Amino acid sequence: MATATLSPNRPHLKTAPFRKGHPIWGALPEFQKDTLKLFTDVAKMGDVAHIRFGFTHLYQVNHPDGVQHVLQQNNKNYHRDSFGNQLVKLVTGLNLFTSDGDYWLNQRRLMQPAFHRRNYDLFGQIMTDATLRTLTRWQTAIRQGTFLDMHKEMMRLTMEVVGQALFSVDLSDDSNVLGKAFMTSTGYIQFRFNTPLYPPLAIPTRANREVKQAMADVQRILQEMIDERRRTGERKDDLMTTLMEARYEDTGEGMTDEQLRNELGVMIGAGQETTSNLLTWIFHALAANPDVEAKLLDEYARVLGGNTQRVRTPTMADLPRLPYSRMVIDETLRVYPPAWAISTRVALEDDEILGYRIPKGSGVFITPYVLHRDPRFWDAPEKFDPERFTEANEEKRHKYAYLPFGAGPRKCIGNTFALTETQLILATLLPRYKLTLQPGYKVEPAAEFTLRVKGGLPMRVEARS
């Protein structure tokens, strides 16, 4: 184990232990070989550890107190400037996810009302209707007993939900150009995240040409939709209308067309990517833990009806009566957080974290995947146990030991949307159908831009008797 030394510039501060790697590439080869193992090993070096990727120096923070310092107490000293953030900005432009400072604050204040709970009755109906259509589409596979890739199915379902909630349009349809173009764009982000040395967009490789065309299609179609709304004055019950009507407090003006395109674009990705992966991981967790699934089904039976022929479709009003469902979701977010890493923050000035010196210009990195499995903060962390999230157990836990949606002022604006969508999809699907993993299939996590199931999740869907 590496040991910390005192910093020569500020003698009372320690220098974080340094992870040695390749003389040129640093830890990059390990990152590409097994990302999660690398950051798990780095966390064992101490509460703050120093790691290098090429010429980029990062400090991995591995204790909730340090996380609280970065994300809450001194968050203004840390701005987003990571490779991943630059990739998202390259594809979606300047928006709530990629911005910092006053611009971010103004956008957050402007957009927050769009996610007010008063809108969730409409959102909930969209979510359950889309799930029922998905179940109808599955009927041939169910009759034939064929396996479905649940990751692909959840990607399609959540794309349908986000399209209806944002634009009142089904983006999941294979003929929808916007949906296909956005999938190409997000696929490029995933590809580049895993291939950081790939030629930049200016080099006309096949992948670069395809994503540039997809980006142009996204911008063009979003602008056409904005123009059509402005021309007709049509007011639909969706987030696009809410954002077009929103006004800044200081000027009384709304967003420009470019701002609208950028915010709508990133919301498509945020609304689809994390929720689809969360649902996929839940299906795996339930298949691997039949006792948890049985308890969850008992709860559904009590609230929604015990016979699959009479089970009713859940509504928003049912969610407070499904606490175990929420605990299953929370535990899945602990073990398999789709946002497995929080976007690197760059220190604007010298700082101190838990007694360690953080030089100006250094990157600070937080890995919920690692923090959520730290035995100092979680008993038997490898065990899947929803009971960790009873109210009594939550009160005993450090607030910053659990970060499925980040924390502090930049906590994900859509976290309630994602949790609501997940609860309603599960409560619509699971009382009616049983999902069984393909025998012998090995489930492995892939730490890409989000935490995915490597190679997908083949499952057989069977009607419950």
With beta carbons less than 8 A apart as the criterion, state whether 435 and 286 touch. Answer: yes
Q: What is the pLDDT of residue 175?
A: 64
Ordered structural domains, the chain, with CATH: 1-73+340-388 (3.30.43.20), 74-339+404-463 (1.10.630.10)
**Closest Cα to residue 48, out of 30, 36, 66, 31?**
66
Neighbours of 455 (CB within 10 A): 13
353 forms beta bridges with 356
With beta carbons less than 8 A apart as the criterion, state whether 431 and 464 touch. Answer: yes
Q: What is the pLDDT of residue 138?
A: 97
Q: What is the pLDDT of residue 174?
A: 65
Instruction: Give kind and range of the element (H or E) at residue 161.
Output: helix 150-167
Q: What is the pLDDT of residue 170?
A: 85
Q: What is the pLDDT of residue 325?
A: 99
Q: What is the pLDDT of residue 11?
A: 64
Q: What is the pLDDT of residue 1?
A: 42
Q: What is the pLDDT of residue 8?
A: 53
Q: Is the dihedral of CA 78, 189, 401, 158 positive or negative?
A: positive
Neighbours of 144 (CB within 10 A): 9
pLDDT in 10s for each residue of the chain, 465 residues: 444 555 556 667 999 999 999 999 999 999 989 999 999 999 999 999 999 998 889 999 999 999 999 999 999 999 987 777 888 888 889 999 999 999 999 999 999 998 888 888 899 999 999 999 999 999 999 999 999 999 999 999 999 999 999 989 888 876 678 888 888 888 888 788 778 778 888 899 999 999 999 999 999 999 999 999 999 988 898 999 999 999 999 999 999 999 999 999 999 888 888 999 999 999 999 999 999 999 999 999 999 986 656 789 999 999 999 999 999 999 999 999 999 999 889 999 999 999 999 999 999 999 999 999 999 999 999 999 999 999 999 999 999 999 999 999 999 999 999 999 999 999 999 999 999 999 999 999 999 889 999 999 999 999 998
Instruction: Report the C-alpha gap between 187 and 179 in whole angstroms.
Output: 12
366 forms beta bridges with 61, 342
Residue type, 45: M
Q: What is the pLDDT of residue 413?
A: 93
Q: What is the pLDDT of residue 320?
A: 97
DSSP 270-336: HHHHHHHHHHHHHHHHHHH-HHHHHHHHHHHHHHH-SSTTTPPPP-GGGGGG-HHHHHHHHHHHHHS
pTM for this predicted structure: 0.93
